Structures are given as structure tokens and as C-alpha cells.
Amino acid sequence: MKSETRQQEIIRVAAQLFKEKGYSAVTMRDLAKAMGIKAASLYNHINSKQDILNAIIISLAEEFTDGMKQIHLSNASCIDKLKKIIELHVHISSKNSYGMASLNNDWMHLETQLTYYKKLRSDYENDFKTILKDGIKSGEIVNIKPDVMMFSILTTLRSLYIWIPKKEDFNLQELSNSLSHILIEGIAKD
Amino acid sequence: MKSETRQQEIIRVAAQLFKEKGYSAVTMRDLAKAMGIKAASLYNHINSKQDILNAIIISLAEEFTDGMKQIHLSNASCIDKLKKIIELHVHISSKNSYGMASLNNDWMHLETQLTYYKKLRSDYENDFKTILKDGIKSGEIVNIKPDVMMFSILTTLRSLYIWIPKKEDFNLQELSNSLSHILIEGIAKD
DNA sequence: CAAGTAAACTAACAAGTGTTAGTTAAATAA
DNA sequence: TTATTTAACTAACACTTGTTAGTTTACTTG
């Protein structure tokens, strides 16, 4: 297990600060202070503030798109695919809850990578929607506009980063199962 | 119907800009340009940038807490209370989707009003959780940790502001009903 | 030991920040 | 008409922003 480089450390600490106040409100001097060095010293390890944001967001977005692609191409049932998607979100969000905050809230501050990010996101959402449509066609899931269903499920999953760190005692598989139940079967007792 | 004051107009336009880039990334010069005037002229109508954020967030937060209090004190069933909560969110979010963005994403940039905002939010969430616990006790809803249920429902509702403006053709009561179905009865076909 | 490198430092810059002071032109009230 | 208010303006302030240049210190490698 290679230990973290100084660059990776900066990116990790930056993500923590970005989670609290957002990309724009965090200054390079804030970041430097959190690292225990002066702002100028950061530039021995990174090229720009913008590059830090790229590093945080793009790797995460790719992880989601790749994971979704695998799920989509598998031949599981629609419901099982949804459960896999929930697990994917729980897994990534628990590994990197700080980065998830930037992915959710600061993607619009990307510059050169903004178009690429948007493509990754729309690929992800298209796969998601296709899975839902297939489920409606096969009668596995209820016939409500797939847009609304996806929106509802996805916003819950996208917000996991807020919630997971507060529940460290929590078993992740258990959380995944609870969410599956709530999101798929609802909360009403038949 | 009184027409909008210049101050209200500034706050409304500010909320639109805040939705796109967040409070910190919007400058007073950005706001002035959007209003067609110079930055200094804004101060004939508002006291500070911070005051604009206060005006946007606090009134909305109070609207939610008040609405929730009424629902909580009513003697409807748990499921009906949840449906009322969903309607409350759809209603407020459709009236002011711009302000909802600030409420969700920029509350941490409040200064003098931060503590008050947090109190409003925790009052709201406590009422919500009580409704869910009562529903579990009476056997109306499934016995899953109320924390997880509330988180799941609430994050969906809190994100409506992203989604509602894209669907102007959409009937709000229909949206409310779809969401009630998805959030309460789930998406699986029995 | 000498040479090179990694990573910190100080100092500074040009641009942008929220905000104030003082002024002017047009609309309204006396 | 005259006086007053409203709402814009220009100019500037003190401070903060991301970033660069050049330097120093300590460790590693030949």
C-alpha cells in the first residue's frame, strides 16, 4: 500500500474544505493553513486551484459512469440492477464523502472539463433511465414517468455524502438494504 | 396586487444568480450587471450582500417550519401527513425555485442568522421524525430507522427546485401525486 | 564530500472584492 | 415653481484573491 503523496494529501484536504463552504468560498490561503504551510508552497505540488477541483470531480464521475455501465450491461433483473446502483452509491459515497460534496455542488465551477463532466453525467442518467424503462416494459416496476422516478431515487443517492459520515457506527450493507427497501418497495405497510 | 419594489427585484435576481453559481461566486458587480445598473447603486436598496442572502433564506425556512407545524398538529393519518408534506414542498419549490437553491446550498454562508436558521431546520426535522415514529407505532408504515426514511424522502423533496423549472408543462398536482406514490408506496409492482 | 532535488519560505503583483462618499438627474410633493 | 425624495452615477477605499519569482533549507544520491 503506497502512502499518500503530498499532492494527494492536498487534494484530500481541499475536498474536506470544499465540502464545508464550497469551492468558491475556500481560498488557497485557507487550504494552505489547513495543510500547515504557506499558500505559495501549494504550487510545488499542484498547478492551480482549478486543477484540484478537476482532480476531485472527474475521477469520481468516471467511477460512477463506469460502475453504471457494468450494471447496465449485466443481465440482472431491473430491480436487481437498481439494488446494484444503490450499492454503488453507498460504496463510493462512504469511500469519499468529501469529494461527493464537490461533485454535487461545485461541478459548475469546472472550466476546461465542464463539457466532459456533463457528458459523463448524461451517459450515467441515460443508462439509469433505460433500466427504468425496461423495468416498466417488463412489468417489474410501476408505470410512472421514468423521469420522476429517476429524479426521486437519484437525488436521495446523491445526497448520501451528507448523511453517511454522521453514522459511522452504521453498517454499510445494512444502510444499502434499508435504502433498497425504502426506494423500491416504499415505506407504507401494504 | 402590489407590484414588486426595486429591493424585491434585486433579491429575486440575486436568487437567480445564486442558483447558478452559488452565493460566494456571485459578485455585487455580477448582480448589478444583471440589474442593468452599477454595483454602488445596489446599496440604495439593500444594506449588504449578506442581507440579500438572509432575505432569501430565512423567509423560505420560516415558510417550511410554519407549514410543517400545521401539518404536525392536524389529526390526519401519518400517510396523509406525509402527502401534505410533499405538497408543501412542491408548492413552495414551484413558487420560488431560485430561493430554494440558496436554502439548500448556501445556508452555511449565513452569519448573524445562522443559528436561527439551524433552529428552524431542526424544528422542522423533529416534527418530521415524530410523524414517522407515530406512523411506525400505529403500524401505518414500515419499521425502518426513521432517520433513514426521513433522509431519503427529505433529500428528494429538497432537490425539487432543480427539477421543477425544467418541467413547466407539468401539472403540479400530478407531480405531487406521482411523488407521493413513489415515496410512499415505492416503485416495485407489488 | 559534492551535486541535485524536493518542498518549504518571503515578497510581490495585478486583478477583483464588498462597500462608502459624494454627486447628479429625474420624478414627485408642497 | 420650489423643495424634496428617489435612484442612478463616478471615484475611490482597504482588503482579498490566485498566482509567480526567486530564495533557502534539508534530505537523497553519485
Q: Count of domains in chain A?
A: 1
Instruction: Report, as an integer, the average pLDDT of B102-127.
Output: 98
Instruction: Report, as an integer, the average pLDDT of B27-47.
Output: 97
Residues of B in contact with A178 (CB under 8 A): 144-145, 148
Lowest mean pLDDT across A68-72, B18-22, B141-145: B141-145
Q: What residue numbers bound the domain in which A58 lies?
A: 50-185
pLDDT tens digits, one per residue of B67-111: 999 999 999 999 999 999 999 999 999 999 999 999 999 999 999
Residue B142 lies in a domain: yes
Which three three-digit cell numbers place residue B104? 439548500
Q: What is the pLDDT of residue A1?
A: 45
pLDDT tens digits, one per residue of B144-171: 999 999 999 999 999 999 988 877 667 8
- Cα–Cα distance measured from residue A144 to residue A156, given in angstroms and rounded to the nearest whole number: 18
Residues in A 35-94 whose C-beta is less than 7 A from nucleic strand D are 39-40, 42-43, 47-50
* Percent of chain B at pLDDT exceeding 70: 97
Residue B1 lies in a domain: no
Q: Which pLDDT band holds residue B9 (cuts at 50, 70, 90)?
A: very high
Regions of chain A with pLDDT less than 70? 1-2, 168-169
Q: What is the pLDDT of residue A32?
A: 97
Q: What is the pLDDT of residue A168?
A: 66
Residue B14 lies in a domain: no
Per-residue pLDDT for B45 more than 60?
yes
- Cα–Cα distance measured from residue A168 to residue A11, given in angstroms and rounded to the nearest whole number: 23
| Three-class secondary structure of residue A153 per DSSP | helix
CB atoms inside a 10 Å sphere around CB A44: 10
Q: What angle do CA A20, A21, A25 make, to 5 degrees?
A: 155
Residue A38 lies in a domain: no
- A 75-94 → B contacts, CB under 8 A: 79
Q: What is the pLDDT of residue A88?
A: 98
Residue A19 lies in a domain: no
Give the CATH number for residue B61: 1.10.357.10
Residue B74 lies in a domain: yes
Asked if B111 reaches chain A (Cβ–Cβ under 8 Å), the answer is: no
Which three three-digit cell numbers place residue A139? 412489468
Which three three-digit cell numbers place residue A73? 450491461
* Percent of chain B at pLDDT exceeding 90: 89
Closest partner residue to B178 among A148, A167, A185, by Cβ? A148
What phi-psi label fits residue B105: left (phi over 0), alpha (psi between -120 and 50 degrees) or beta? alpha
Residue B11 lies in a domain: no
Residues of A in contact with B182 (CB under 8 A): 144, 148-149, 152, 186
Residue A78 lies in a domain: yes
Instruction: Report, as an integer, the average pLDDT of B2-26.
Output: 94
Distances (CA, A) of A26 to A142, A178, B54: 44, 35, 21
Q: What is the pLDDT of residue A2?
A: 54
- Cα–Cα distance measured from residue B52 to residue A26, given in angstroms and rounded to the nearest whole number: 21
Q: Check: CB of residue A127 under 8 Å from CB of residue A73.
A: no
